[in-house]
């Protein structure tokens, strides 16, 4: 094995191989965005807890009856000392409406996090299969270079014996150099893919594992129906609408006044005779009954209803486009697959003919370049086909199990 190929293999020796399903699980557990949005859920949990708390009571302590004389402060004996505790009480079921509104907002945030993860999964899917494609091309180039060096070694022996011109040998050596440069670029591209993959998975060294080429038959309408039933963005909007409904009920309930009930202890007069009493205060909803906030809440609900219709239409559009891309990539891949055996046969025949002296060096090298270009396109088509299939699975909310 050459020093160059040894370096290439050592460059990826310490990367952990990760399957597609494992990558999606790692994305959920370790990705930066997943962790960031988890705190959005925590914030909603805090808002929900806060919405159910009762208002704090108010403690008042008053003392009167002191007089100021010449440089002195003295008690007149005609005093008033009082201690009062007031507890605000909301009427009209306001606390319950506020709590239910916050509860559905919490559920909406949880669904929104799942929707964010789904969007990240689509990006991961693209990176994963591009890395697989570049990895397969890198492995092909390694084998291609090894095979070419065997031919080059034979031709170098022929040149020493006078059966091959120096010019033809130089052409072969230049092609070897070009192949090495192509291999170096392919290695750099694959390293970049691994950096992207590691970033999606929250850091670390990962390599994509091979995916079986066994896509199931899919039907467009079934995919759309399943996605609309399961899509987290739909469920999040539905929960937000419920939250808005309770917010509207809460704002309407402000027409009912709240009260404050208090208990008081008083000691007054010369002999400080104590007394106990109670009272309450009433907030009269005459001028401000949250009319502006109610209008805002009603408008918000209408926005959410329109957003729900838009999201359903958007799901139909995205899956329809993804389905067409899948069908197109499938046809392209099958076209290359049909030609693969012909190209393999052409390559083998060309090698044998060249070693026997049946074709020129230029024709031999031209065939190698043609085959290399074909293999690059073939591998791109294969993994684009698989990538488009797994993209459909993510969009349709199908199980991620292989």
- Is the confidence at residue 143, as pLDDT, over 60? yes
* pLDDT value at residue 212: 80
Give the sign of the dihedral formed by CA 238, CA 241, CA 243, CA 245. negative
- Is the confidence at residue 92, as pLDDT, over 60? yes
Question: Mean pLDDT score of the chain, rounded to an integer?
Answer: 90
Q: Where are the alpha helices (DSSP H) in 162-206?
A: 166-200
3-state helix, strand, coil in the chain (%, to 5): 70, 15, 15
Q: How confident is the model at residue 385 (pLDDT cuts 50, 70, 90)?
A: very high
Bridge partners of residue 64, in order along the sequence = 80
* pLDDT value at residue 36: 94
Residue 105: half-sphere exposure toward Cβ, Cα within 13 Å: 22
* pLDDT value at residue 291: 94
* pLDDT value at residue 72: 64
* pLDDT value at residue 359: 93
Which is nearest to 190 in space by CA: 123, 141, 132, 126? Answer: 132
More confident residue, 6 or 180: 180
- Is the confidence at residue 2, as pLDDT, over 70? no
Give percent of the chain above pLDDT 90. Answer: 78
- Is the confidence at residue 204, as pLDDT, over 60? yes
Q: In whole angstroms, give the CA distance from residue 131 to residue 137.
A: 10
- Vertex 81 angle, CA 78 and 82, to 5°: 145
CATH class of the domain defined by 3-395: mainly alpha
* pLDDT value at residue 10: 46
Q: How confident is the model at residue 335 (pLDDT cuts 50, 70, 90)?
A: very high
Give percent of the chain above pLDDT 70. Answer: 90
Average pLDDT over residues 297-307: 97
* Domain boundaries defined on the chain: 3-395
Phi, psi (rounded to 5 degrees) for 60? -120, 135
- Is the confidence at residue 193, as pLDDT, over 60? yes
* pLDDT value at residue 1: 43
Average pLDDT over residues 95-123: 96
Both tokens of 18, joined, read 């990760």
| pTM for this model (two decimals) | 0.85
* pLDDT value at residue 277: 77
- Is the confidence at residue 274, as pLDDT, over 50? yes
For residue 4, give every residue at least 6 positions away whose Cβ sits within 8 Å of its Cβ, in sequence order, or none: 180, 183, 184
Both tokens of 392, joined, read 């459909």
Following DSSP, what letter does each residue of 239-268 receive, concatenated?
HHHHHHHHHHHHHHGGGSPPEEEEEEEEEE
> Over the stretch 10-54, which tens digit does the pLDDT of each residue have?
455 457 899 999 999 999 999 999 999 999 999 999 999 999 999
- Is the confidence at residue 148, as pLDDT, over 90? yes
* pLDDT value at residue 81: 79
Would you call 334 exposed, middle or buried from its count of C-beta atoms within 10 A (0-12, 13-18, 19+)? Answer: exposed
Q: In whole angstroms, give the CA distance from residue 90 to residue 107.
A: 25
For residue 214, give every residue at least 6 positions away whose Cβ sits within 8 Å of its Cβ, in sequence order, or none: none
> Over the stretch 205-236, which tens digit does the pLDDT of each residue have?
999 999 887 788 889 999 999 999 999 999 99
Average pLDDT over residues 56-66: 85
Average pLDDT over residues 313-327: 96
Pairing relationship of beta strands 58-68 and 206-208 according to DSSP bridges: unpaired
Q: How confident is the model at residue 267 (pLDDT cuts 50, 70, 90)?
A: confident
- Is the confidence at residue 176, as pLDDT, over 80? yes
Q: In whole angstroms, give the CA distance from residue 389 to residue 402.
A: 12
């Amino acid at each position: 094995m050459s020093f160059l190929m040894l370096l290439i293999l050592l460059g990826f020796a310490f990367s952990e191989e990760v399957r597609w399903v494992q990558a999606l699980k790692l994305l959920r557990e370790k990705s930066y965005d997943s962790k960031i949005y988890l705190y959005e859920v925590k914030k909603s949990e805090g808002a929900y807890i806060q919405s159910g708390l009762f208002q704090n009571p108010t403690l008042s302590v008053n003392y009167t009856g002191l007089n100021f004389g010449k440089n002195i402060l003295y008690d007149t004996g005609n005093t008033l000392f009082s201690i009062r505790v007031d507890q605000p009480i909301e009427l009209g079921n306001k606390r319950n409406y506020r709590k239910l509104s916050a509860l559905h907002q919490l559920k909406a945030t949880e669904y929104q996090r799942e929707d964010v993860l789904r969007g990240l999964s689509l990006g991961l899917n693209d990176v994963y299969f591009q890395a697989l494609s570049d990895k397969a091309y890198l492995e092909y180039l390694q084998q291609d270079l090894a095979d070419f060096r065997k031919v080059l070694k034979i031709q170098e022996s022929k040149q020493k014996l006078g059966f091959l011109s120096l010019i033809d040998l130089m052409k072969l050596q230049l092609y070897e150099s070009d192949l090495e440069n192509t291999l170096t670029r392919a290695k750099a591209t694959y390293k970049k893919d691994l950096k992207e993959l590691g970033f999606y998975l929250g850091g670390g060294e990962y390599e994509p594992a091979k995916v079986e080429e066994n896509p199931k038959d899919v039907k467009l309408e079934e995919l759309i129906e399943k996605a609309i039933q399961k899509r987290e963005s739909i469920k999040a909007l539905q929960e937000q609408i419920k939250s808005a409904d309770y917010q509207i009920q809460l704002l309407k309930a402000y027409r009912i006044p709240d009260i404050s009930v208090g208990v008081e202890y008083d000691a007054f007069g010369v002999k400080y005779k104590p007394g106990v009493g109670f009272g309450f205060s009433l907030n009269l909803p005459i001028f401000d009954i949250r009319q502006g906030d109610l209008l805002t809440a009603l408008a918000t609900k209408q926005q959410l209803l329109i957003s729900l219709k838009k999201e359903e239409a958007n799901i139909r559009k995205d899956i329809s486009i993804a389905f067409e891309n899948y069908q197109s990539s499938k046809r392209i891949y099958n076209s290359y697959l049909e030609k693969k055996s012909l190209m393999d046969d052409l390559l083998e025949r060309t090698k044998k003919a060249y070693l026997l002296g049946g074709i020129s060096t230029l024709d031999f090298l031209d065939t190698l370049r043609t085959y290399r270009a074909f293999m690059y396109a073939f591998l791109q088509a294969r993994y684009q086909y698989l990538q488009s299939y797994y993209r459909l699975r993510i969009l349709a909310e199908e199980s991620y199990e292989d």
